[in-house]
A and B are shown apart, each in its own frame.
Chain A
């Protein structure tokens, strides 16, 4: 029992666990829509684009996460705009916008002779350094995005499955697309605190991809994805405590392991189903 409770004797671990749980569940919920819209690239893209916001915030002397959030949201809106107006695929639009924003960050940084931002914590996350104020911001944003998801759930679902029919029925698929992009941008920024720019895409994509292996219906996929997100965050945090490794990396490793477990389980179930069909239809096995 002590093994389970020991890490949380430290207040910083308790704060980290709460933040990781919120981030894991939120990313996994958003990820369900992200992978079904075939936007797996977007988490990576927005995370990299936010780097420009961090540099601009540093130059202006303002909050880094606020800077990252502003640039992430603007990039998300730009991705939607370029996709629609430029008549190019969303992936292409993401590719154009995120590299442009990232290059802006690199350019601005290259003009500075001294650069004091702790880049490592943005690149790889540092959830153990979450302060009370950070936790409040993470929880506030998580609750806000969660409420938006709850309110927009049906519209997001129908525009994800069939945007053309939804649009014809009067559900504004374009508006939902922009809203989803903004929610993803905010989610990514929350996730950066946990696992960093480099790995945040995994929190968005992997739990949902794992859930997709195990169910053929959306609602259970949505629920399973959030469960996998929660288990990965807490499990990864425990692992990092006892293995003395990077918390962000272990969280992502944990969720990757869950994905392969789900993949294996699906293969086992498919094999069993095939055996049942052959057993009940002897002609098939000849």
Chain B
């Protein structure tokens, strides 16, 4: 079976800085993969590379057997962190979620009953239907995050990429998002999600990856949690918060040398 995501020896650079180094990864359809690591470890970079937003310097990266940018329009849904857009944009919750349908529509297609149904279903999935007509600036951070997820769901993608959707959200939103991710994975959708939340990974994901510009560990959440790499990342986050100089060389992590499995 074709892998949903198949990365081999992938390297991504920002000029001379190696953001991702020899990444090997295979994600199957219906699998929810969690990606953890400190700030600057390349979590967002990996998701953007899978989305085709960043060029890879070397290696191969395929999504359902093709380079991401060769996939049909609408195949990949990417949910960025909420601060990436201007929330004073003149749009209601409905308008933003409806934009999720745009990749599926040619210019001559009307926004029809099936599209409206997809938007309503997506709003229901994140429990935002009652706020459909509210302006997006009037939402809390958690509600804005739900709107972004609903937009991705309305797209009916083949791969879903979520960049730290639980950062700064309330417990109710986190529970709702977790239920959405589990439901989508059960339905066969591959989900890749980065997170800073190291406490409840077993309830979210089928597999967990510890990333620090390289894949330090990957496996079932239980195996990874019990392994040294996860413990070191956790210790690092507890000790240093999420702060780390982005250009600190990977090899200089002498304070947790045991993270290399």
Q: Are A and B part of the same complex? A: yes
- Which residues of A does B touch, CB under 8 Å? 36, 150-155, 157-158, 160-162, 164-171, 212, 215-218, 221
Contact A221 B90 (CB under 8 A): yes
Contact B53 A154 (CB under 8 A): no
Contact B78 A164 (CB under 8 A): yes
Contact A218 B91 (CB under 8 A): yes
Interface residues of B in 97-154 (CB under 8 A from A): 99, 102-103, 105, 107, 135, 137, 148, 151
Minimum CB–CB distance for B87 against chain A, Å: 10
Contact B84 A162 (CB under 8 A): yes
B173 within 8 A of A: no
Listed stretches B18-26, B68-76, B221-229, B249-257; interface member? B68-76
Chain B 23-56, CB within 8 Å of chain A: the 1/0 string?
Answer: 0000000000000000000000000100111000
Minimum CB–CB distance for B152 against chain A, Å: 8
Residues in B whose Cβ lies below 8 Å from that of A157 = 99, 102
Taken together as a complex, chains A and B put the C-alpha atoms of A212 and B71 apart, in Å, by 37
Contact A168 B89 (CB under 8 A): no
Contact A170 B73 (CB under 8 A): yes
Residues in B whose Cβ lies below 8 Å from that of A165 = 77-80, 148, 151
Contact B85 A161 (CB under 8 A): yes
B155 within 8 A of A: yes
Contact B91 A170 (CB under 8 A): no
B161 within 8 A of A: yes
Taken together as a complex, chains A and B put the C-alpha atoms of A165 and B153 apart, in Å, by 13
Minimum CB–CB distance for B24 against chain A, Å: 22
Contact B78 A161 (CB under 8 A): no
Contact A170 B71 (CB under 8 A): yes
Contact B155 A169 (CB under 8 A): yes
Contact B78 A168 (CB under 8 A): yes
Minimum CB–CB distance for A177 against chain B, Å: 15
Using CB atoms, name the residue of chain A closest to B47: A168
Minimum CB–CB distance for A31 against chain B, Å: 13
Mind listing 14 A-B residue pairs with CB under 8 Å?
A151-B107, A157-B102, A160-B89, A164-B78, A164-B84, A165-B151, A166-B103, A167-B51, A169-B74, A170-B103, A216-B91, A216-B137, A217-B92, A218-B89
Closest 9 pairs (CB-CB, A-B): A170-B73, A168-B78, A168-B51, A169-B103, A216-B135, A154-B102, A158-B99, A151-B107, A158-B102
Taken together as a complex, chains A and B put the C-alpha atoms of A156 and B80 apart, in Å, by 19
Residues in A whose Cβ lies below 8 Å from that of B78 = 164-165, 168-169
A168 CB contact (under 8 Å) in B72, B135, B137, B161: B161
Residues in B whose Cβ lies below 8 Å from that of A170 = 69, 71-76, 103
